[in-house]
Amino acid sequence: MTTTARPAGTEPRTKGAVATVAGMLLVATTYGMARFGVGLFAPALADERPQLADVLGWAAAAQFTSYSVAALAAARLVDRRPRAGLVLAGVTATVGCLGVAAATTPAVLVVAVFVAGMGGGFASPALVPVVHAVVAPRARPTAQSVVNAGTAVGVVGAGLVAAGAPAVAPAWVLMALLCAGTAAAARWSARAVGPGRCGPAGSGAGARGGDGPVAVAHDVPTGTAVDASSPARRPLLAPAAAAVTVGAGSALTWTFGPLLLTAADAVVPARVGWLWVALGVGGVLGVLTGALVARLGLRRSWCVCAAALALATAGVALSVATAGPAPAYAGMALFGAAYMAASGVLILWAREVRPTGAGAATSVLFVALATGQAVGSAGFGVARSALDPVVLAVVAAALCLVGGAGALVRRPGTAAARAAAPGGRCSPRASASPSSPPRASRRGPGSRCRPSPRRPSR
């Protein structure tokens, strides 16, 4: 009996592919379902359990808050114990979904949604070192892109579940089972990754900037937390403020979009799930973020994304005002594309302001985005009973536009600091020769370099 030898390298490639697909599915369930499912099911929750209608905004705020808490906690855990992060992601998402299925009181709903929101915060940071350890170096950017695309896949899946489920409880039980199953699959695919086996030092979540450009399709917090007192945090103030503002504006669609549309009879409750399908399909276009930035530049790309979010919110307002479904579905698709692209721009922005600490900077910006979403969800929830839905949409769109304008704010000295970083214009590699001393500065003693003249920004 003869056996056929397996080509060299086949098994590692297979393990990498399995880990990548498992990671994508875990992101799909913990993000697209457990995290973003509350807004989708808001109309059904308000209809089946009227006592919960007044706390939907607070529940969404709790979810965005718990996501930030889990992301910061995971940043200190996953480089050493990535599999523990995967287990925590599965447990919190599963328990939270089961809690939503059973919730009949406001307190139980808020707690359940808080727990469910932690799943995504644990999942993404844990998957970064797993992919780094299992996938071949040249394939890591592609693998991360596939994993990140899981959010759009999960949003589509949640929409299909909502369209086919007869009630809230069975839908959330099904999503809980999917969270548990995908977490088990991700944990199994990472069975060979143990403590200290996530690659060289700094190769895990805290060093995502070293793997090359990654086309991200969801808000992935990576890296370790940045000390609030650290001077390195200061260049992040402008992008963080922009992220908070855009996050607050986007919260209306994420949390109350389906509820506003069904209340205005623009979309019948039976077809609410298709709003999320449209949003997820549009979100797939987020993988084109890199091409957008290459063509327009970082800050103009952020402005375009924020303007597109505002336009998408205006589409929801038009649908509410006219009771027509077409603007609603078009607005949701545009919203998905713009939100996923904006998430990708934030990662590139983090790399620009902190080229040697992109992972930590990315964590800061996505916590800022989630913080804005938490504040926006709570604020719109309070204002919903007092203001017309069209007015709420105008406020949300205005917040997105203001956050987009934040990209035009540049901190003095940021370019010079970036040039002084390793690989910058003032680093040894940028000198005329390796042995030549740094060029003297015209700016006086103590100055590290003289930036070369640059064209003014358009």
Helix or strand or coil: residue 230?
Answer: coil
The confidence band for 444, taking pLDDT boundaries of 50, 70 and 90, is very low
pLDDT 10s digits, 144-181: 778 878 888 999 999 999 988 889 999 999 999 999 99
Which tokens belong to 373? 């979403």
**Of 95-99, 355-359, 430-434, 442-446, which gets the smallest average pLDDT?**
430-434
Handedness of CA 289, 295, 301, 304 (dihedral sign): negative
| 313 close to 335: Cβ distance less than 8 angstroms | yes
Res 29 pLDDT > 90: yes
User: Could you identify the residue written with the tokens 């950017």?
Assistant: 141
For range 339-360, the mean pLDDT: 82
- How many Å apart are CA 181 and CA 33, to the nearest integer? 13
Res 7 pLDDT > 80: no
What pLDDT was estimated at residue 302? 94
Q: Is 223 left (phi over 0), alpha (psi -120 to 50) or beta?
A: left
For range 291-320, the mean pLDDT: 93
Question: In 3D, which of 148, 366, 142 has the Cα closest to residue 239?
Answer: 366
Whole-Å CA distances, 419 to 203, 212, 442: 23, 19, 16
Question: In 3D, which of 187, 161, 219, 199 has the Cα closest to residue 33?
Answer: 161
Whole-Å CA distances, 231 to 6, 118, 181, 348: 53, 29, 43, 20
Q: Highest mean pLDDT: which of 184-193, 229-238, 275-284?
A: 275-284
Res 315 pLDDT > 90: yes
Residue 85 sits at the vertex; the CA angle it makes with 84 and 87, to the nearest 5 degrees, is 65
Res 304 pLDDT > 90: yes
pLDDT 10s digits, 324-343: 999 999 999 999 999 999 98
User: Which of the two residues, 346 and 356, has the higher pLDDT score?
Assistant: 346
User: Which of the two residues, 124 and 268, has the higher pLDDT score?
Assistant: 268
What pLDDT was estimated at residue 235? 76
For range 30-35, the mean pLDDT: 92
For range 137-141, the mean pLDDT: 80
For range 222-233, the mean pLDDT: 45
What pLDDT was estimated at residue 192? 66
What pLDDT was estimated at residue 237? 87
What is the pLDDT of the chain when averaged over all its residues? 80
List of residues 6+ apart from 409 with CB closer than 8 A: 238, 241, 242
| 162 close to 41: Cβ distance less than 8 angstroms | yes
Q: Is 297 left (phi over 0), alpha (psi -120 to 50) or beta?
A: left
Res 204 pLDDT > 60: no
pLDDT 10s digits, 386-441: 899 999 999 999 999 999 997 776 655 444 444 444 444 444 443 333 334 444 44
**Of 207-221, 234-248, 337-351, 398-412, which gets the smallest average pLDDT?**
207-221
Domains of the chain: 14-190 (1.20.1250.20), 228-422 (1.20.1250.20)
Q: Highest mean pLDDT: which of 256-260, 418-422, 453-457?
A: 256-260
User: Could you identify the residue written with the tokens 């909502």?
Assistant: 162
The confidence band for 255, taking pLDDT boundaries of 50, 70 and 90, is very high
Question: In 3D, which of 6, 40, 53, 19 has the Cα closest to residue 273?
Answer: 40
Which pTM value belongs to this model?
0.76
